C-alpha cells in the first residue's frame, strides 16, 4: 500500500502519517522512562516512514502534519478530561495558570512535528538517493560503478 515513488495522494499521506504516529506513540509509551531516548523517537519513526515511501519534501511535511494532528487530538482529549475533573475536585487538580498546560502541550506537539518532519525528510532523501544509484547501476554505498558479470 505504501509503495515508494507512488503518486502523491491524500490516502497515501494519511495512511503513512497515521501509521508513523501510532508506532511513535507505542515507542514513547515503552521508552518514557528514558527521556533522552524517547525525545528522539519522532526522528526515528519519521525517518523510517520517509525512507519506506521515499518521501519528497512535501510528503515529509504532510506526514509530520498528520502526526501533529493526531497528537492535537490526543492531547485535547486528555487535557480536556483533566480540566473537567479539575473543576469537580474540591481544591482543583490544576494549580497555577492554565496557560502553562497550554504551553507544555504546544511544546510537545511542535517537538513531534519538527522532529518527525526532519526524520521523514532525511529518510526520504536517502531512499531516493540510494534508489537512483541502484537504477544507474552504481554501488549504493560508494556510488562507484558495479562490475558487470561476464
Residue 64 falls within a domain, yes or no? Answer: yes
User: What is the pLDDT, as a whole number, of residue 3?
Assistant: 66
pLDDT at 44 over 60: yes
- For the chain, the average pLDDT equals 84
User: What is the pLDDT, as a whole number, of residue 80?
Assistant: 83
Residue 122 falls within a domain, yes or no? Answer: yes
pLDDT at 87 over 60: yes
User: What is the pLDDT, as a whole number, of residue 63?
Assistant: 92
Q: Are 52 and 131 in contact (CB under 8 A)?
A: no
138: helix, coil or strand?
Answer: strand
**Mean pLDDT across the stretch 103-114?**
91
Residue 83 falls within a domain, yes or no? Answer: no
User: Which grid cell is 14?
Assistant: 494519511
Q: Are 115 and 42 in contact (CB under 8 A)?
A: yes
User: What is the pLDDT, as a whole number, of residue 140?
Assistant: 67
Residue 65 falls within a domain, yes or no? Answer: yes
Look at the chain and report how many structural domains it folds into: 1
Residue 79 falls within a domain, yes or no? Answer: no
Residue 25 falls within a domain, yes or no? Answer: yes
Q: What domain range includes position 25? A: 10-74+111-135
User: Which grid cell is 86?
Assistant: 479539575
**Mean pLDDT across the stretch 111-134?**
89
User: What is the pLDDT, as a whole number, of residue 1?
Assistant: 54
Residue 147 falls within a domain, yes or no? Answer: no
Residue 32 falls within a domain, yes or no? Answer: yes
Residues 6+ apart with CB under 8 A from 60: 46, 50, 117, 120, 121, 124
**Mean pLDDT across the stretch 123-149?**
77
**Mean pLDDT across the stretch 76-90?**
81
**Mean pLDDT across the stretch 10-37?**
89
pLDDT at 58 over 80: yes
pTM of the model: 0.79
User: What is the pLDDT, as a whole number, of residue 86?
Assistant: 76
**Mean pLDDT across the stretch 116-145?**
82
Amino acid at each position: 500500500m505504501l509503495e515508494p515513488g507512488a503518486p502523491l495522494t491524500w490516502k497515501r499521506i494519511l495512511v503513512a502519517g497515521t501509521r508513523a504516529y501510532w508506532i511513535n506513540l507505542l515507542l514513547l509509551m515503552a521508552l518514557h522512562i528514558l527521556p533522552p531516548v524517547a525525545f528522539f523517537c519522532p526522528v526515528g519513526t519519521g525517518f523510517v516512514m520517509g525512507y519506506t515511501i521515499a518521501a519528497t519534501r512535501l510528503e515529509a511535511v504532510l506526514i509530520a502534519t498528520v502526526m501533529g494532528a493526531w497528537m492535537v487530538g490526543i492531547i485535547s482529549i486528555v487535557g480536556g478530561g483533566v480540566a473537567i475533573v479539575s473543576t469537580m475536585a474540591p481544591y482543583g487538580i490544576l494549580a497555577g495558570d492554565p496557560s502553562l498546560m497550554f504551553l507544555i502541550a504546544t511544546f510537545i506537539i511542535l517537538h513531534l512535528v519538527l522532529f518527525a518532519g526532519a526524520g521523514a525528510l532525511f529518510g526520504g532523501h536517502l531512499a531516493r538517493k540510494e534508489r537512483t544509484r541502484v537504477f544507474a547501476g552504481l554501488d549504493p554505498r560508494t556510488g562507484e560503478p558495479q562490475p558487470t558479470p561476464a
